[in-house]
Amino acid sequence: MEVLEKEIISTSQCKDIWKKCLSLIKESVPALTYNTWFLPIKPLSFSEDELKIEVPNSFFIEWIEEHYNTIINNVVRQTMGDDGKLLYVVGDEKESDRVATDLIANRSEKPSPKDISVENTYDDDNEDSNEQFESYLIPRYKFENFIKGEGNQLARAAAIAIGENSGETSFNPFFIYGGVGLGKTHLIQAIGNRIKEKSKSKKVIYISSEQFTVEFIDAIQSGNAQEFSNFYKNMDALIIDDIQFLIGKEKTQDYFFHIFNTLHQAGKQIILSSDKPPKELKGLNERLISRFQMGLTADIQAPDFETRMAILKNKANSYGISIPNDILEYMAYNITSNVRELEGSLIKLLASSSLNSQEIDMVLARKAVNEIASGRQVNISIDYITQIVCKYFSVDENKVREKNRKKEVVLARQVAMFLSKKLTKSSLKTIGLHFGGRDHSTVIHAYNSIEQLLSDDNSTKDIVESLRNKIELGVS
């Protein structure tokens, strides 16, 4: 009876709290957003500062986390206090499958791995559950959801072998390298998760080399360098991501070298990732480079078409959404070199479809792919655009910034303004400032004039297209 009473209280309390949350959220977001993303959420229970809520699928969590994290954090704080937490569970998953702790709200805006693995789901029933350190392992990185493909065959197979028999294979250290967004972090995290699954008492830590450096500097400053070293020397498996960032950090490298040796001699597993193979890590201490080559080095290449399709299908499935094959094919054809972008395009597609209550079709897919492609150009500057455009029209760059009304100068200026608007995230005002302090209406006028020209005149269209390509590809 008592239990039942408690449950009833918890249920009504959680409804009240969620109601308060909703009313605060409603004030902070547009109605459409509120209806799409927040209304479908159901409060489940409340205990010990933790409100459990149910979302329709895991895509919701990702979307909310990415776009409304600040709002959510504020709301949680206002309704539940500083210790308040929000726990998401996905409605259509079985209790046992839930990795609810995967994503816990009320954390810093840019999640660090530390924030994400607030609770280690594996460590709940054994003697080391009171372990005093954070593993930084993210439960969602698993071998099970890492798609096998030609580009990652060796790396994946080795990673699994290490996860199964850590420290006992000759793959020590395991050094994995490859371009951005190809799954290095996923794989090395999956090793850590597998090691913990097999043996909960093993001490495993994942850390980026940047974080490692920060901690090291902290330790030095507070006179705890020895403690820092001992902590890492005490691990059963040490996973360091993006080791290339140790370049130029001589002192950190020194300490790392000793940690490495101690672990290696004790047969403890070391797992490293990098954007380049060891011998290309110019500026890294030679003795480290030679240590890195003692075990197994494996690369990850960009996935082939079939693998890209499989990744998309798998991801869509995990959101509980089915997408027509031709649309997935379109995406897999157009985004070729980066799995993160592939996933990004899928998320954009789902988001725009759900935001506008529109069916997923080719038009939406094209938009999502384009947005991902244009997101790559965040680093294009207005000055760079001006330089390329002026070079093409043989106009002195200074002239477009002055009050020069010569026909070719006006055209170059307008094209440069047009492309600045298209290819950068700068405001009209900022663009105007780059062109001799012109005001935003001048930029609008330029933009409209060029757009008009593009629709009237094919030769201008070709010129602008080719300039755009040059700028995007970074060739002058």
Residues that bind ligand ADP (CB under 6 A): 145-147, 152, 178, 180-186, 311, 339-340, 343
Nearest-CB residue for ligand ADP: 183
Bond prior to 43 in cis (omega within 30° of 0): no
Binding partner of residue 213 among Mg ion, ligand ADP, none, CB cut-off 5 to 8 Å per kind: none
Cα–Cα distance for residue pair 429/43, rounded to 1 Å? 44
The first and second tokens of residue 85, run together, are 């937490």
Nearer Cβ to Mg ion, position 43 or 192?
A: 192
Nearer Cβ to ligand ADP, position 120 or 208?
A: 208
Could you tell me how many residues of this chain bind Mg ion (CB under 5 A)? 1
Nearer Cβ to Mg ion, position 185 or 420?
A: 185
Nearer Cβ to ligand ADP, position 148 or 470?
A: 148
Binding partner of residue 90 among Mg ion, ligand ADP, none, CB cut-off 5 to 8 Å per kind: none
The first and second tokens of residue 367, run together, are 């938009």
Identify the H or E element spanning 47: strand 42-47
Q: How far is the CB of 153 from ligand ADP (least distance, A)?
A: 10
Classify burial at 338, counting beta carbons within 10 Å of its beta carbon; exposed 0-12, middle 13-18, buried 19 or more: middle
Q: Is 152 in the site for Mg ion (CB under 5 A)?
A: no
Binding partner of residue 186 among Mg ion, ligand ADP, none, CB cut-off 5 to 8 Å per kind: ligand ADP
Structure letter (DSSP) for residue 178: E
Question: Which amino acid would we find at residue 67?
Answer: H
The length of the chain is 476
Cα–Cα distance for residue pair 391/397, rounded to 1 Å? 8
Nearer Cβ to ligand ADP, position 182 or 284?
A: 182
Binding partner of residue 343 among Mg ion, ligand ADP, none, CB cut-off 5 to 8 Å per kind: ligand ADP
Which of 57, 58, 106, 185 is the binder for Mg ion (CB under 5 A)?
185
Nearer Cβ to Mg ion, position 39 or 180?
A: 180
Nearer Cβ to Mg ion, position 284 or 350?
A: 284
Q: Give me the sign of the Cα torsion angle 462, 468, 471, 475.
A: negative
Strands 237-241 and 85-90: unpaired
Q: How far is the CB of 181 from ligand ADP (least distance, A)?
A: 5
Q: How far is the CB of 241 from Mg ion (least distance, A)?
A: 6
Nearer Cβ to ligand ADP, position 311 or 409?
A: 311
Cα–Cα distance for residue pair 267/272, rounded to 1 Å? 16
Residue whose structure tokens are 């910034």: 401
The first and second tokens of residue 156, run together, are 């994946």
Q: Give me the sign of the Cα torsion angle 155, 156, 157, 161.
A: positive
Q: How far is the CB of 22 from Mg ion (least distance, A)?
A: 36
Binding partner of residue 182 among ligand ADP, Mg ion, none, CB cut-off 5 to 8 Å per kind: ligand ADP
Q: How far is the CB of 260 from Mg ion (least distance, A)?
A: 20
Q: How many helices (H) and strands (E) does the chain have?
A: 20, 8
**Which candidate, 416, 466, 408, places its Cα nearest to that of 442?**
416
Q: How far is the CB of 151 from ligand ADP (least distance, A)?
A: 8
Cα–Cα distance for residue pair 455/346, rounded to 1 Å? 31
Q: How far is the CB of 90 from ligand ADP (least distance, A)?
A: 17
- Give the end-to-end CA distance of the chain in Å, rounded to a whole number: 77
Binding partner of residue 382 among ligand ADP, Mg ion, none, CB cut-off 5 to 8 Å per kind: none
Nearest-CB residue for Mg ion: 185
* Contact positions vs Mg ion (CB under 5 A): 185
